[in-house]
Amino acid sequence: MSTDSTNNVAVSIEHVWTRFADTDAGPGKVVHKDINLCLDKGEILGLVGASGCGKTTLLREIIGLHTPSQGEIFVMGQSLQHLDEATQRKAALQNCGILFQKGALFSALDIFDNIAFPLRELGFTDDKLIERLVLMKLSMVGLTDKDAKLKPADLSGGMIKRVALARALILEPDLLLLDEPTAGLDPIASQDFVDLLQQLHQELHFTVILVTHDLDVLRDLCTKIAVLADQQLIAFGTLASVLAQQHPFIQQFFHNTRAQRVFQHQETLHG
């Protein structure tokens, strides 16, 4: 990042281009064209866009799982791009908690070992410390010590998300990345998860970037919204400011009949 006045910046995405090369499966394509975004610490950013527009790829680039073809990404002032693989992995683990689509728990491991996984990967060996940290996170997400011995197959969708959240938070990251956190949950489990995230955000003050199509999540949880379309970032700001944009994708996504009901109050506020 260019100056010191960026102390309050959690994530800075600077001139990022993503091109995928031709493969046997199909021709290559440009997914991102000069994406620029600066997100302050403590914000909850909702990343929105049509299927295949590159939301997950951007998350993967933020945590260093994929390197942009051009441009640079800084997380808490640090770019992962020039680090060797091991240092990159360690920095990403320490800075970022990740909840992938569908929770992505290891089915062979019980809940305790799933949550302990990042600690062990970072080299923690003190079993008592691991137990204390895991049980603390388990209770933080509303689960009990007894749940620790269950396997992912024994859990409901809502519990899987909670366990995945506990694992994402185990190293107390500054940045939490969530890929469609409420997808597949019924409305009650979805609302419970949003409430839990809101409560943890108030307690722990982390920054969140979440990919979602869920209008309630955008309205109730997100402090900022970023919209990807036409390979570009076509809007970034508060919900009210995004609602006021004229781009066809925004009209389609934020102003259809259901969206109008969900965002009624926000639109009235915006005038």
Applying CB under 6 A, the residues found at the interface with ligand ATP are 20, 31, 49, 51-57
What's the closest the beta carbon of residue 101 comes to ligand ATP, in angstroms? Answer: 7
6 vs 67 by CB, closer to ligand ATP: 67
- Provide the token pair at 183: 């997808």
Which helix (H) or strand (E) segment holds residue 95: the answer is helix 85-95
What's the closest the beta carbon of residue 76 comes to ligand ATP, in angstroms? Answer: 23
37 vs 170 by CB, closer to ligand ATP: 37
What's the closest the beta carbon of residue 17 comes to ligand ATP, in angstroms? Answer: 13
49 vs 173 by CB, closer to ligand ATP: 49
26 vs 123 by CB, closer to ligand ATP: 26
71 vs 142 by CB, closer to ligand ATP: 71
What's the closest the beta carbon of residue 52 comes to ligand ATP, in angstroms? Answer: 4
What's the closest the beta carbon of residue 112 comes to ligand ATP, in angstroms? Answer: 30
